[in-house]
Amino acid sequence: MRAGGYPSQVRGRAGGGIHKVGIGGTMKSHKSRRIMSVVKISELRDMSVDQLEATLKEAKEKLFHLRLQARMERLDSPSELKKNKRLIARILTLKSLRGLQKETTTK
């Protein structure tokens, strides 16, 4: 038995998530990992301006929440921050390229 007379205890982890520690000391995860779907550049190119704007807004909101989680040390995977920043950069790059294309076609 573990401390306190109970066969298992529930404890938190620095990386986030609640885990149950069994009698043998093994940890079993009770929290499923959230996997962000990776948006390919070809999919972004096929989107309209309105769709890009909506995707950009969602990505910025997600980045805000990820930064909050990182500050509170509850972030499951730190690579999500990097992936989200890259998505935002891709969208902004596409928007600026489309703006440049419009300028060159109108001149």
Helix axis angle, 79-106 relative to 49-71, nearest 10°? 150
- The pLDDT, as a whole number, for residue 28 is 41
pLDDT at 50: 94
Q: Tell me if residue 18 falls in helix, strand or coil.
A: strand
Confidence at residue 9, expressed as pLDDT on a 0 to 100 scale: 45
Q: What is the DSSP letter of 8?
A: -
Q: What is the pLDDT of residue 35?
A: 35
Whether 28 and 38 share a structural domain: no
Shared-domain flag, residues 27 and 1: yes
What is the domain range of residue 14? Answer: 1-32
- The answer to whether residues 52 and 18 belong to one domain is no
- Considering the domain architecture, whether residues 50 and 93 belong to the same structural domain is answered as yes
The sign of the dihedral angle between the CA atoms of 10, 73, 57, 36 is negative
pLDDT of residue 5: 52
| pLDDT tens by residue, the chain, 107 residues | 445 554 444 444 455 554 444 444 444 433 333 334 578 889 999 999 999 999 999 999 999 999 999 999 888 888 999 999 999 999 999 999 998 888 888 87
pLDDT value of position 37: 56
pTM: 0.62
